[in-house]
Amino acid sequence: MVRIEGLEKRFGFQHVLKGVTLAFPRGKTTVVLGPSGCGKSVMLKHLVGLLKPDRGRIYFEDQRIDTLAEHQLGPIRRRFGFLFQQGALFDSMSVGDNVRFPLREAGVPDDEWSIQRVRHVLNMVGLEQSIDKMPAELSGGQQKRVALARAIVLEPQVILYDEPTTGLDPIRSDVINELILKLARQLEVTSIVVTHDLASAFKVADRMVMLHEGHVILEGLPEEFRKATDPVVRRFLRGEASDEELAAIRAAGTPRRS
């Protein structure tokens, strides 16, 4: 469905992705794990042409997309729903208008079908009754759900979730997890979930991938991650810093009390 081959990306002297090859199978939920700053968002942005590779290729259904011009990317982007890391609703628009926005952009007329479609996706995320509210009247978790409704309003085949539970408490996170599972089942979409929330990862994943220092260091089933022997993967799953990192902090001395 979606494939990355030999993706390399640098920003100045920083070599973020050093040759990433991955396939995201149709209808499955793949969770991409990795520490902050390792290039997870950068990888997602390549899938929809928001960034261009320095080296490597991106394919959507056997069509190479990284070489397409901006005007050719429109129809491809419409097949993707993207839940950005920063929820990014338009503050000055009601919930309903936020969700309708992609329909208007795609040239769908504001007819009865369009209104029903907005209601339908808001109903899927449990917020149909908030259609006339403004984003500021909603909690952080509800805003994420509105952003998710907006991401699915054009019936995407692939949904990209960039840290969908970051900043939410455990209960609100679990609501998002349930929605990811529900959308995967009901819409039969291919889902790619970037996260460092392990509870969320193990709840939604069919497959997992771990990025580390610009490379894929492990990919496989959740059971394979639980049983992993690679020390980097094990430390990540246990939330432990490495001996070198701990030694550096201990060696740095203690701040003096005044």
- Contact status, residue 96 vs residue 114, Cβ threshold 8 Å: no
Which candidate, 5, 31, 2, 43, places its Cα nearest to that of 192?
A: 31
Question: Is residue 42 a contact point for ligand ADP (CB under 6 A)?
Answer: yes
Q: Is 115 or 216 the residue whose CB approaches ligand ADP more closely?
A: 216
Question: Is residue 207 a contact point for ligand ADP (CB under 6 A)?
Answer: no
The two tokens of residue 239 are 């939330």
d(CA 148, CA 179): 9
For residue 246, give every residue at least 6 positions away whose Cβ sits within 8 Å of its Cβ, in sequence order, or none: none
Question: Is residue 41 a contact point for ligand ADP (CB under 6 A)?
Answer: yes
Question: Is residue 49 a contact point for ligand ADP (CB under 6 A)?
Answer: no
Question: Is residue 41 a contact point for Mg ion (CB under 5 A)?
Answer: yes
Laid out side by side, the sheet with 2-11 consists of: 14-24, 2-11, 55-60, 63-64
Give min distance, CB of 36 to Mg ion, in A: 7
Question: Judged by CB under 6 A, which of 39, 96, 156, 164 binds ligand ADP?
Answer: 39
| Residue 11 near which of ligand ADP, Mg ion, none (CB within 5-8 Å, type-dependent) | ligand ADP
d(CA 126, CA 142): 9
d(CA 258, CA 254): 12
Give min distance, CB of 36 to ligand ADP, in A: 4
Question: Is residue 46 a contact point for ligand ADP (CB under 6 A)?
Answer: no
Q: Is 80 or 163 the residue whose CB approaches ligand ADP more closely?
A: 163
Residues that bind ligand ADP (CB under 6 A): 11, 14, 16, 34, 36-42
